[in-house]
Chain A
Amino acid sequence: MNLAEGVQTISFALLALMMIGAALGVVLLDNIVYSAFLLGGVFISISGLYLLLNADFVSAAQILIYVGAVNVLILFAIMLVNKREDFSPVPRRWIRKGGAALVSVGLFALLGTMVVQTPWVIPANLPATTSTLIILGEHFFSDYLLPFELASVLLLMALVGAVVLARREYVLDDEASVGEMPQLPLQLPERPKEPVALSGTSAPSR
């Protein structure tokens, strides 16, 4: 075992430990903020594993998208509504727990069979990949075109949804402005927006 392999093994062990520990923390910790931060740790460890698999672009994308966008979004959501309250016990909680366990076990079984069935033998004459980026691009625009486009449509839908949510509501009656001045495009009179979030809730605790 030479230097590179040793480093690789040790990093793999460290990353795997980090990932499993952080993931357990996400699930088991009571404090939801800790869970969110640990989720970021999980994502970073996964990107480290990608790096070990020579998938440098995927690992950077993992950091950019999951840590930089998804996790930050989750944190934003948690911090803006964080009320530090104890969870009230839900009646028949065991049904939910059982359901969750069933799904988890099923998922684990699926993944397990996948792991067992995949031939992990590395073909000896594997050509050295110079740039993963180019290979990725080629795949995106040939055999993975449909999933790629579907994903982009999904993102577009999310984008449109965000715009619809964030957009102010416009007063759309023509009578008001008839005879006055013609309404300019892109400049509609706005209806004042009432603060929705403040109604009914007590003051945040922190």
Chain B
Amino acid sequence: MNSGIDLQQSVIEILSNLGLPPGVAKLVWLPLPMVLMLVTAVLGVFTGVWLERKISAAAQQRIGPEYIGPLGILAPAADGLKLLFKEDITPGNADAVLFTIGPALVVIPVFLSYLVVPFGQNMLISDLSIGVFLWIALSSIAPIGLLMSGYASNNKYSLLGGLRAAAQSISYEIPLALAVLAVVMMSNSLSTIDIVNQQSGYGILGWNVWRQPVGLLLFWIAALAECERLPFDLPEAEEEIVAGYQTEYSGMKFALFYIGSYVNLVLSALFVAILYFGGWGFPVPLEQVASLLGVSETNAVFQVVMAAIGIVTTLLKAYFFIFLAILLRWTVPRVRIDQLLDLGWKFLLPVGLANLLLTAGLKLTFPFAFGG
């Protein structure tokens, strides 16, 4: 496996060539990927919101945003601007400190999880050896934020909403982790890079979907529940109850919840792409094709093209799943809270365990196909 282009090395080299000492060059490099990732995440949110509006409109035979920028592309920006200018209300007798920390606690872990999302061999902030586990661990902080904002709102419905949201979030973390565990078992590593590399080489045939169809379903259902997307959006349930733990929030604090939910959706879709759909891998094994055509792997143009293709492929796969989530939103009715918990504990959990067992068995029997 060639390592593709190494942005860090080249940027630091360029900076050193400009006459900066290597330490300073490294210091200059440090914030760059983080800022890039933040921008990517925010852009992802904008695209997600825009897609949500457009696809929802299309599913209901409407047009959706049309005049705010070409095709209404600026509608999310207008949303953000509106929320920015709104009054930031803290309800009377509310716990102002917790009320402020709550949304931040929900949002920050989600953004932090972008640390391990790879867009290419070297296109991620850090290839941690705990990779996906970091994501799972970080997403378990969110319930605390939900409880905090529910508690601090000085509103019993908010408190109940927060409790419900937290219950949903922690009970769907387990099937999610089980599904991820099965994938991890096959790739023998928690690192996202290794997981993708384990799927590469055979193009579309090597992807984990074929080996983990049940796991994919589990993962997707649990991820939808984690993101509070529609079949499971009862913490918010805009038509039935007031927005649960978000009831008292307005202005930028509400925007944090809003952004957080969309970043989470994009993140989950990215993880589906990485864990089950070969990450940045193209459906056709491009490396083999290139070597057949006689293009060397160290060719600079080839590497740049490959990196671009990798990013685009990852995003396309992720956005396909976002599309699916939005389509599901207008297809499936919302479940009740007891049905939700039933599904989580009595269906997904046993199925997840069975899937894990099956994967372990298959791994022992067919080590060549299931990553022995």
Contact = CB atoms under 8 A, between A and B. Distances in A.
A contacting B, Cβ–Cβ less than 8 Å: yes
Interface of A: 2-3, 33, 37, 40, 44, 56-57, 60-61, 63-64, 67-69, 71-72, 75-76, 79-80, 130-133, 206
Contact of B170 (A3, A56, A72, A80): A72
19 contacts: A3-B26, A37-B148, A40-B144, A44-B141, A56-B128, A57-B130, A60-B130, A61-B137, A67-B141, A68-B140, A68-B173, A72-B170, A79-B159, A79-B162, A79-B163, A130-B129, A133-B190, A206-B156, A206-B159
Contact of A33 (B138, B151, B167): B151
Give 9 nearest A-B pairs by CB, closest first.
A68-B140, A64-B137, A60-B137, A63-B137, A131-B129, A75-B147, A56-B130, A72-B143, A60-B133
A80 B144 contact: no
A67 B159 contact: no
A51 to B, nearest CB: 10
Given A63-B138, A64-B137, 14 more contacts: A3-B23, A56-B130, A57-B129, A57-B130, A61-B137, A63-B137, A63-B140, A67-B140, A72-B144, A75-B144, A75-B166, A76-B147, A76-B163, A133-B129
B170 A68 contact: yes
Nearest to A60: B137
Nearest to A166: B345
Nearest to A31: B95
B73 interface: no
A131 B173 CA distance: 25
A57 B143 contact: no
A206 B27 CA distance: 51
Given A2-B23, A33-B151, A80 B129 contact: no
Interface residues on B, range: 20 to 34
Contacts, number: 73
Interface string B138-161: 101101100110110010100100
Given A57-B130, A72-B170, A133-B190, A79 B147 contact: yes
The residue in B128, B140, B154, B166 that gathers the most chain A C-beta atoms within 10 A of its C-beta is: B140
B136 interface: yes
Contacts of B27: 3
Interface of B: 23, 26-27, 98, 128-130, 133-134, 136-138, 140-141, 143-144, 147-148, 150-151, 154, 156, 159, 162-163, 166-167, 170, 173, 189-190
B198 to A, nearest CB: 15
Nearest to B190: A133
B331 to A, nearest CB: 31
Nearest to B147: A75
A3 B163 CA distance: 43
The residue in B98, B129, B173 that gathers the most chain A C-beta atoms within 10 A of its C-beta is: B129
Contacts of B138: 63
Nearest to A129: B129
A22 to B, nearest CB: 13
A131 B190 CA distance: 10
Given A56-B129, A63-B141, A132-B129, A72 B166 contact: yes
Nearest to A131: B129
A37 B98 contact: yes
Contacts of A60: 130, 133-134, 136-137
A64 B174 CA distance: 11
B126 to A, nearest CB: 10
A104 B143 CA distance: 32
B130 A69 contact: no
B151 A67 contact: no
Nearest to A68: B140
A100 B194 CA distance: 50
A67 B52 CA distance: 32
A131 B187 CA distance: 14
A68 B141 contact: yes
Contacts of B128: 56
Contacts of A69: 140, 170
